[in-house]
Structure 1
């Protein structure tokens, strides 16, 4: 700096003297403006292309960001010259929407199943309805706490909710209230007044309150060790534990406040403590099964011990690291080649791989990959590695609709293993937000 400002300055540098004549750089070399060494490339369906990846800032909502990017791409598209097209090859909004639908499906099906079981086994329509109301109210309590703690609603946080555990305390309170109301009516020989119902329900709730709270606290304690996790495990499982704890606390509060009040107000008229036909049938079969097990107690003990030993053996072989799997419908494929492979050769091999995959598997809609390191080195990779994504067509457009995605994945792994010079790693992109 300060001495070499132009190309001519470099050309005029003297590097030697020959018989009193200076030899300059221009005498032995050509001097020109060069360029950075190429460190990366991208391909799309077997052809080299320009690939851009939008980087989201930490703490942002991926669904909102993806929608904003899509709107911006559409506006840029209108100003591009003829023949230049921006095509969105991967939009994580679809994955987020699929995750949301999975959560909705799990929650709705779980709630419906619990409500149906309540109506079948409680034997009292109003009591079952009051118990079922705990589900949406506890969810409202949970979502309020999640919003306050800035916990996102995702597959991990909401997927662990168990409505059976949530309404457990409410079922205990309701059954005890029904029992005391039926006994009080039988003792009085007629219907109870409102004040008498309130008194009996209060005593029933007071009687069951301590074991109810103690039982739910035991469940809460199970989740406390999760809060000691750190690092990636903490980011994955802290929201899940916090959501379950919030739901259980909400259900506990509702069990000793809303449920007794609702029973006292709405369970009027003649109250009978009778077993439903389902419960009577189950109890009869259970008693027969117990009698049979007692007759064959040695056999039952041996089977239980064998199951325990087998469980212990399996527990020693189970890994300690795990992550939730979401069947997105697409694959992430990493192609690894010899470390001495240059960028151009690696690029040609990746193009050939993509063309062969498209030809061999009609289930594939598109393939794109990036090889080496991009201009902005947010994800540094050597030129011998290609990170690709295989986008699949809808399942009903596959040649064999009966084929599962796992079977297709295995076929691809087997096929890629036949290609010389490549080692492949398959995974499914996971989005939890």
Structure 2
């Protein structure tokens, strides 16, 4: 053993090169590590959401949640199934054993959802899987600020859903963008009961007629002079006038229009919550969720870059204002660990110099700390451990 150690110590140049290579490789490994504020200890979880229209919790449990739970039983590596049935919403949490690949788990759940959908009564909602994220995936929050005061909550929500959210979901590393506050724009048909009696109609009749007259239909093609002409039947309603002119019935050759039995207006979807800013009124906000395993700081940087581009497409006076940015927390966590590491290197070198009375031993021990940190980063990359306050804080301990 002594001969082995003496042989290694005799090859000083090789040891120096290996040490430098280890430090450089550790630096490259650190750059490729997912950087988070805290370790994500969320279990392998797939959530199934089903939105229903006005069903009580008891009915949601019986007709929606139970069929989904039964369909999930017997999946490979399944740990447990939990559920919550609320008014108009069913949430089923499918937990898998630790170490199960999240994409494999989602594939299994998706296959069983086809079975569950067949057991749910028609009109009670379609089960869908939640985003591929965790509880620590909420990386950036923002709201739309109307500096002119000329935009309604419906208009701001429309900008959020069709401009901001639509473009943010194309950013690499973003799995979902959630919208909060405002009103989802709707064309609301307010039917007059007396008009239904007058024209012998029911609400079901009106609903069926409006649905049938609000769609584009393909009409094949015509061939003329060796040329093919595509025929389109455009019937999709684009404004209130289009809906007002829908014919719901004909009486003695006279058409009865939708405007004759109802008032069509623009309104907001019924909601059960709202978003406020500093208690000064309602706002429309957005939550950006990152994909599991991605680098938080890199994703946030790309989101900020995209937000700057989206800002140029918004109407004048409407601003995107971020109010929570997880990169600040991540930066503070990494800065804390970096400062502790530098202080540790200095203190270790100082203590060794004080007790051993030599500069050379102090330098050797101090240089061993970056070597061990580089090795730790390489192993973190191999084992899939993210760089966070816990993992980085523990890395200098072996050498200190």
TM bin (shorter chain): 0.3 to 0.5
- With the length of structure 2 as denominator, give the TM-score of the two structures: 0.34
Q: Which has the higher contact order (CA 8 A, sep 6+)?
A: 2
Q: Which is richer in helix?
A: 1
Q: Which is richer in strand?
A: 2
- With the length of structure 1 as denominator, give the TM-score of the two structures: 0.32
